[in-house]
Amino acid sequence: MVRINVVTLFPDSFTAALGSSIVGRAAAAGLVRFRIVQLRDYTHDKHHTVDDAPYGGGAGMVLKPEPFFEAVEDLKAKPPIVVLSARGQLFTHELAVRYSLGSELTLLCGHYKDIDNRVVDGLGAEEVSIGDFVLTGGEPAALCVVDAVVRLLPSALGDHESASSDSHYEGLLAPPSYTRPPSYRGLEVPDVLLSGDHDKIAAWRAAEAERLTRERRPDIWKKLDA
């Protein structure tokens, strides 16, 4: 069982996503346990202030360090502590695998202009980005991480589903998929997939995976080639 903690100003963002589909099923089966905590619960003033103006000036508000420290301490969270951040290392399949192999994962969601950097330094946190763009808050990023991690947990996917044939699992992008009908609006399913010849199908899929990776992700292709 993996315990996943999320510290957020918007716990409601997680309710539907963590209760449905594969992630919801995994939680119901006891493979993962979620603790979603409200950052404001760790403030001590009457206005529950979580942010303040940035030192040095500039636009936007910065989330204060104290509530994050107190939330993590209250959760008795073990590493890894992850701060979702546009300046973090890119979230990849390798990182999802590492997190899925641990017993606990704690995700800290930022909002507004930034999080006080002492949260990262003082909690020994890893900064993780889900892509080279800027979100309003860390919640959608945390949901991406949770989803990618939970589907890798043993038994999280049903018999008819498999992570091992997905993109990135073996390094390559996955080949395209088709289902019935064989012909739709003049669009045909490749003949080989209808042939019943499993060797030919496997060879076609391997070739398509290589072609797509080479064409669409030369960065990945170069790494694999090396």
Ligand X SMILES: C[S@@+](CC[C@H](N)C(=O)[O-])C[C@H]1O[C@@H](n2cnc3c(N)ncnc32)[C@H](O)[C@@H]1O
The binding site for ligand X (CB under 6 A) comprises: 84-87, 109-111, 113-115, 129-131, 133-138, 141
Q: How far apart are CA 212 and CA 215, in angstroms?
A: 5
Query: CB neighbours of 160 closer than 8 A, spacing ≥ 6?
Result: none
| φ, ψ at 53 (rounded to 5°) | -70, 150
Please say whether the beta carbons of 120 and 83 come within 8 A: yes
Q: Taking the CA of residue 169 as centre, how many other CA atoms within 13 Å lie in the half-sphere pointing to its CB?
A: 13
Q: Choose between 126 and 208: whose C-beta lies nearer to ligand X.
A: 126
Q: Choose between 61 and 189: whose C-beta lies nearer to ligand X.
A: 61
Q: Choose between 25 and 113: whose C-beta lies nearer to ligand X.
A: 113
Q: Choose between 125 and 193: whose C-beta lies nearer to ligand X.
A: 125
* Minimum distance from residue 187 beta carbon to ligand X (Å): 35
* Minimum distance from residue 81 beta carbon to ligand X (Å): 13
Q: How many C-beta neighbours within 10 Å does residue 97 have?
A: 15
